[in-house]
Structure 1
Amino acid sequence: MNKQPLLILALCFILGILFQDSILLGRTSVCIISLIGVGILASMFFQSYFLHKIRVVLLGLLFFGIGIILHFYNTFPSQTTIFTGKGTVVFTISQKLNSSEKYKKYVGTAQVRNHSFSSVFYVSRDHKELDFNHYYKAKAYITAPQAPQYDFQFDYAHYLKRKGIGYQSFLINEITSAEKDDVSFVDKVRQNRLEVLLTINQTGMSTEAKEFLKGIILADRTEMNSNTVQDFNRSGLVHLLAISGSHIVIIFGMFYFLMTRIIPVRLRKYVIVASLGFIWLFAMFIGFGNSVLRACLMLSIYFIFILLQRKPDLLHSMALSAFVILMLDTQQLFDVGFQLSFLAVLGIFWLNQPLLRYFPNQDSYFKKLIFNTITISLSAQLATLPLVLYYFHQFSLISIIANFIIVPFSEVIIVFSFLMTVFISFNIDFEWINIIYDFVIQVLLKIIHWFAERDMLFFENIPMSLIEVFSALVMVYLLRFVILKLNFKNYMRLTIAFLLFLTIRMGCNTFSNQREESLSINFQKSKIFAIKKGDEVCFWIPDIADNGKVLQFLINPYCSSRRIRHFEIKTIPSSAQKIVFMNRIYDLK
């Protein structure tokens, strides 16, 4: 507690959130916990030897209770359905989501029959963009998202509930609009960003370059080609598109570099303050996304330590950032991006410096750039790998090589993209710059596509349970000691942790393979049958089903959930679905 008090208290706070999310204590229990918390706070003012000795425990319990209380008030209750079916909705939008093949998707607030609710709105793909300056009215088919049929399917209803969204509205006729009488400041900022996005669409660059520019600077991937997104995912370079810590640091560094050339050295503190103010303005402009907010908070806290002439501490910065974010919205703890970003920072803190010891002296900028890129990428990937396998069940060894090659040039790409966005925002059109940028991005996308096509190094349907994640993270923790000092004690500790991980994994595999099941799964407008025996499964898919989507959204999740080593797909006429399934059940019996 003496060395890292903020980190320990943050962990207690997080444990409180997890406890409340699992147990779901009622209002009476939360009131009792609040009174206990007030009592603990009051005890801090008493001078007592006993209280002094247990003060650490009391502080931990206090923050544990605060986590429970805040998450209680941040948890959206299960609401009764107020309206489903066809109806006329009046709505405004607050955010655009990724588009699908048929629809553009927005999040907003709707009103039907004097009832207001948050909803995802599905608009025809060929309809013009909705903006933030108008009210909209249309007939819609309103539904409440349903829980998945089986546990291996993605629970979209629960995902929306964590964001406070309870409905889906499919707009079925022409949309009419009316201007808002009073546009809020937030909507004005959102509208300005939308206008910049639309201006980028009007440039003469290729579609791929325009979508890349919108994604890497303005955090808009809503219209990006699915094949391009898949290339970034398979090559392990999707972090290049997500506005994260590296983007914010580079933009901060660019503005800081320019300011230091103008402002005297004696005013260097004001340069830092101005640079921090700039990145917060930038974050506000692109919408305060979760990853952007995390990066801005951590960078700001880090430099506040410097301005106060305190020794900057990465763990303190991370803990304070987590406190601020989770106090504003405890549901952020369950966001995959939140978990991966903080785990990546922990990995860099824990492994980066030990790994650098195995490289030559960094006596030049080029060596420093290359060596730090390698060690930082490797540290972050090792720390996040267990969680990546748990959520996505896939990993590509080519991602290690791809990051070593692409990431060192990411600084140039981000700065170039930022300047392009500034030029376009102010309607400064240099055609030759557009051509150069288009060429650079096309080359970059081709290289990434080449990495993504290395199927031999891509592994999918990798099963991973929570207990396996924690045992793998123990190995990452012990790896530092082996890197720092390779002796018998450290080597044996890591070996024992690895054997424990293998034992847990073999036990999970054995337990899963003993389970046999027969499933009838509703997928879109088709019914799909699956029969599992041991570590093998056979799927019967009607000929009218989209095999690609069935593989992506049903077969792959099932195989990773049930630890399947081999699966078989058989296509059957849609008219014979039930007969085939019943015959297979009879044969198994």
Structure 2
Amino acid sequence: MHKQPLLILAVCFILGILFQDKIALGESLIDGVAVTCLILLVLICFHSYLLHKIKTVFLMFLLFGGGIVLHFYNTSSPVGKLLMKKHETVSFKISQKLNSSEKYRKYEGIARKGSTTFNAIFYVPKNKEVLDFIHYYKADAYITQPKAPPYDFQFNYAQYLNRKHIRYQIYISEGMVSAQRNDLTWADWLKQYRLDVLNRIDETGISGKTKEFLKGIILADRTEIDTGTVRDFNRSGLVHFLAISGTHIVVIFGMFYFFLIRFAPLQFRKYAVIFSLVFIWLFAAFIGFGNSVLRSCIMLSVYFIFVLLQRKPDLLHSLALSAFFILFGDTQQLFDVGFQLSFLAVLGIYWLNQPLLKYFPKQNNYIKKLLFNTITISLSAQLATLPLVLYYFHQFSLISIIANFVIVPFSEIIIIFSFLITVLISFGIDFELINGMYDGIIEFLLKVIHWFAEVDVLFFENIPMNEIEVMSVSLFVYLLRAAILKFNVKNTMRLIMTALLFLMIRSGMTAFENKKEEVLVYHFNRNKIFSVKNGARVCFWISDMKNKTKILQYLVNPYCASRRVDHFEIKALSPTIQKVVFRNKVYDLK
């Protein structure tokens, strides 16, 4: 507690949020917890010898209770049940542009139906006009509520939207009209200007894939990126390069700081750090305060505040403050996968980077420092996030380690070049030569990433992983630091025992699942699917093979990972079939 008080208090606050999310205390109990927190706060303010000894414990319980209370009030209360009709007239405004699908452009926004106002996801057909942030819209629509999936291995989209305080989906049909808004805030103007810049990028002569890459790497917009490119980044382990993260913020901060100290008048140079921090916060507001962006800005700001105050910077203090700021605003952010992976990556870098660097030659020049740090930082972050990556995505590629070693050293140049191109485009300056150079570089980069993604021999999918296995693998990563720092019998045995514990848990879980026989019926869009699991094998009968790729992605693969299935078959299901035979057993489809 004396060395890392903020981190421990942040952990207590997070445990309080998790407790409330799992137990869901009622309002009367929450009132009791709130009163207890007030009593603890009063006791902490008193000065006495006895209280001084237990003040730390009181503070930990205060943050734990604070997490419970705050999560209770941050949990969205349901909107009054709306009367669902086939056609409704809805007024709405959009607040965020989301990833498009094959048929629809998707937006997040606020809708009004009668006297009721509520958050919703809007699905607008692609043949309709593109929506913006400076208009109100009115249209005929179909309102629906997302339903929880029938089986535990399926992605719970209803819960995901609920954590974003969204309970309704609205499909726009006909008769959409718009009207200029007269209540625009500075945030709306920023969103609209960002949208204008995105549209200007579309008007340039660079290729389509390069445009989408540029939008993603600088303006945090991946809404129109094609599925093939997303697949390449995911399979090569380079998706962090496309998303705005700490690397991007640090590079942009450094670029702005460099220009200030080189070209600003002498009297302003001492304020270069402050001006650079102000700039990255403005940039973060412009692209939207995503988790990784907000976390990076807070950590960088705290770090340089320590520097300006002539105090020794502490990475864990910065990380804990970032968590507090984000979770105080919305405790539901804790359950966002990006939030979890972002913070775990920083913890991994803190825990493993320096020990790994000791195995590399002395960094006596810039090139060695850049190369060796790139390797160790990438490896540290990947090791720390590996348990959660396997838990959420059930896939991993060993080629990602090599891909990061090859691509990440050039990330600083690519980010700077992309930022400058975006600035020129935003001011309406279009240099065909510069655009052509950028287009060629990014096309070559995307081809290299595609090559890495196609190395199937090092790609593994449908990897089963549950919470207990995540904890055991995380324990292995935690103990790895001691073994790297001092490779002796004691530290090696700890790692071996942890690995054996993981294998025992995994073997037990797999044996338990393989004893089960399971028969399930699904409805995927308009497709009827029937599956039979017997031991470590499963067979899927599908009535319409047109959507086979999506069925594999959203149904078959998650099922195999959840049920620890080694082999699956897919067969066509005729509408006239009444019974099926699988492994010498007959199953009735009626």
Fold-level match, TM-score > 0.5? yes
After superposition, give the CA deviation of every residue in 1:144-190 in whole Å (9 maximum; x if it has no partner).
11110111110000000000111111111142111112322111110
Question: Structure 2 vs 1, CA of residues 582 and 136 (structure 1 numbering), >3 Å: closer, same or farther?
Answer: farther
Distance 2:28 2:41 in 1: 20
8 Å CA contact 2:261, 2:272 repeated in 1: yes
1:82 aligns to what SS in structure 2? coil
Q: Distance in 2 between matches of 1:45 and 1:413?
A: 52
Q: Which residue of 2 aligns with 1:114?
A: 115
Which residue of structure 2 lines up, in the alignment, with residue 77 of structure 1? 77
> Taking structure 1 as the reference length, what is the TM-score of the superposition?
0.97
Moved more, 542-551 or 43-52: 43-52
Matched, 1:9 2:9: yes
- The one-letter amino acid paired with 2:187 is V
CA distance in 1, matches of 2:533, 2:580: 15
Does residue 380 in structure 1 map to residue 381 in structure 2? yes
SS of residue paired to 1:9: helix
Structure 1 match to 2:40: 40
After superposition, where does 1:527-542 map in structure 2 within 5 Å?
A: 527-542=528-543
Q: Provide the secondary structure at the position in 1 that maps to 2:45.
A: coil
Q: For residue 402 of structure 1, what is the aligned residue in structure 2?
A: 403
Q: 1:126 Cα shift?
A: 3.0
Q: 1:544 to 1:538 in 2, by over 3 A?
A: closer
8 Å contact kept, 1:84–1:144: no
Counterpart position of 1:438: 439
- SS of residue in 2 equivalent to 1:552: helix
The corresponding residue for 2:562 is 561
Q: Is the 8 A contact 1:529 1:581 kept in 2?
A: no
> Structure 2 CA distance, aligned partners of 1:286 and 1:12?
31
> Which residue of the partner structure matches residue 67 of structure 2?
67
2:259 alignment counterpart: 258
The residue that corresponds to 2:306 in the other structure is: 305
Match of residue 489 from structure 2: 488
Match of 2:52 in 1: 52
- 2:367 partner SS: helix
Q: Over residues 174-220 of structure 1, what are the superposed CA-to-partner deviations in whole Å (9 max), with x where a residue is unaligned? A: 42111112322111110000000000000001001111100100000
Residues 510-559 of structure 1, C-alpha deviations (whole Å, 9 max, x = no match): 11111111001111101100000111100001135410000000000000
Match of 2:27 in 1: 27
Aligned pairs for 1:124-139 (under 5 A) are 124-139=125-140
Once the 2 structures are TM-superposed, how far is the Cα of residue 411 of structure 1 from its aligned partner? 0.4
Deviation string 1:33-73 (CA, Å, 9 cap, x unpaired) is 11111111111233333322222211110000010011010
User: Could you tell me which residue of structure 2 aligns to residue 274 of structure 1?
Assistant: 275
Q: What whole-Å deviation, never above 9, does each CA across 1:380-437 have from its counterpart, x for those lacking one? A: 0000000000000000000000000000000000000000000000011111001101
Taking the TM superposition and a 5 Å limit, the aligned residue runs for 1:437-516 are 437-516=438-517
Q: Counterparts of 1:473 and 1:194 in 2: how far apart (Å)?
A: 41
Give 1:449's aligned amino acid. Answer: H
Q: Are the aligned partners of 1:396 and 1:457 in contact in 2 as well (CA < 8 Å)?
A: yes
C-alpha distance after superposition, 1:275-309 (max 9, x if no partner): 00000010111111222111111111111111111
Residues 1:544 and 1:353: Cα distance change in structure 2 (over 3 Å): closer
* Bigger mean CA offset, 354-363 vs 541-550: 541-550
Any conservation in 2 of the 1:108–1:119 contact (CA below 8 Å)? yes
* Contact kept in structure 1, 2:79 and 2:118, CA below 8 Å: no
- Greater mean alpha carbon deviation, residues 238-247 or residues 259-268: 259-268
Query: Does structure 2 conserve the Cα–Cα contact (< 8 Å) formed by 1:298 and 1:318?
Result: yes
For residue 576 of structure 1, give the secondary structure of its aligned residue in structure 2. Answer: coil
Query: Shift of residue 331 of structure 1?
Result: 0.4
Aligned twin of 1:348: 349
Q: CA deviation at 1:260?
A: 1.0
Question: 1:585–1:153: structure 2 CA closer, same or farther, 3 Å change rule?
Answer: farther
Q: Which runs of 5+ in 1 are unaligned?
A: none
> 1:427 maps to which residue?
428
Task: Give 3-state SS (helix, strand or coil) of 1:222's partner.
Answer: coil
> Which stretch shifts more, 283-292 or 217-226?
283-292
> Structure 1 residues 419, 346: CA separation in 2 closer, same or farther (over 3 Å shift)?
same
Question: Does structure 1 conserve the Cα–Cα contact (< 8 Å) formed by 2:44 and 2:59?
Answer: no
In the alignment, the residues of structure 2 paired with residue 583 and residue 349 of structure 1 have an alpha-carbon distance, to the nearest angstrom, of 52
Contact preservation (8 Å) 2:44, 2:58:
no
The letter of the residue matching 1:34 is A
Distance apart, 1:572 and its partner CA:
2.2
Q: In the alignment, what sits opposite 2:319?
A: 318
Q: In 1, Cα distance between the equivalents of 2:244 and 2:326?
A: 17
- Asked if the contact 1:81–1:144 (Cα under 8 Å) also holds between the matched residues in 2, the reply is no
Q: Which moved more, 1:187-196 or 1:578-587?
A: 578-587
Q: Provide the C-alpha distance between the structure 2 equivalents of 1:494 and 1:212, rounded to a whole number of angstroms.
A: 41
CA distance in 2, matches of 1:544, 1:175: 35
In structure 2, the CA distance between the partners of 1:545 and 1:77, relative to structure 1 (3 Å rule), is farther
| Cα 1:284/1:581, change in 2 over 3 Å | farther
In the alignment, the residues of structure 2 paired with residue 194 and residue 415 of structure 1 have an alpha-carbon distance, to the nearest angstrom, of 21
**Residue 565 to residue 583, structure 1, CA distance change in 2 (3 Å):** closer
Q: Measure the CA separation in 1 of the matches of 2:536 and 2:58.
A: 49
- 2:184: which partner in 1? 183
**Counterpart secondary structure, 1:44:** helix
User: 30-39 or 199-208, which moves further after superposition?
Assistant: 30-39
- 2:230 counterpart letter in structure 1: V
Q: Equivalents in 2 of 1:501, 1:451: separation in Å? A: 30
Residues 579 and 587, structure 2, Cα contact 8 Å, conserved in 1: no
Partner of 1:517: 518
Q: Equivalent residues in 2 for 1:208-287 (5 A)? A: 208-263=209-264, 268-287=269-288
Tell me the equivalent position of 1:551.
552
